[in-house]
Structure 1
Amino acid sequence: MTAPLTTRPPAPAAARSDDFRAEVRTFLASPEVREELRRFSDLPAGREPGHLEVFRLLGERGWLAANWPVEYGGLGLRAVDAATVAEELGLAGVPDVAHVLSVDIVGLFLLMAGTDEQKARHLPPLARGERLATVLYSEPGVGSDLGSLRTTAEREGERWRVTGRKIYSQKSQFASQALCAARTCDGTGSGITLFLVDLTGPGVRVSPIWNATEERFDDVTLDVLVGDDDRIGPLHAGFAVLNTCLALERTGIDYQAKVRRWFDSVRDTAEQLGLLGDEALRQRLVALDTEILAGRLLAYQAVEAVDAGAVDPVVSARSKWFNTELARAVVELALDVAGLAGTATRWDGEPGWRETVEGIYRESPNLRLSAGTSEIMLKVVATLGLGLEG
Structure 2
Amino acid sequence: MKTSVCIIGAGPAGLLLGHLLRAAGIDTIALERQSPDYVLSRIRAGVLERVTTDLMTRLGLDTRLRAEGLPHDGFNLADGDRLIRIDVAGLTGQQVIVYGQTELTRDLMEAAPRRGLEIIYEAGDVAAHDLESDTPYVTFTKDGVEQRIDARFIAGCDGFHGPSRKAVPADIGKTYERVYPFGWLGILADVPPCNHELIYANHERGFALASMRSATRSRYYVQVPVGENIEDWPDERIWDELAIRLGPEAAGHMTRGPSIEKSIAPLRSFVFEPMRYGSLFLAGDAAHIVPPTGAKGLNLAASDVAYLSDALIRWFCKNDVAGIEGYSEKALARVWKAERFSWSLTSLMHRFPDTDEFGRAMQVAELSYVASSRAMQTAIAENYVGLPL
TM-score range, shorter chain: under 0.3
Task: Return the TM-score normalized by structure 1.
Answer: 0.26
Greater helix percent: which structure?
1
Higher-RCO chain (CA-CA 8 Å, sequence separation at least 6): 2
Greater strand percent: which structure?
2
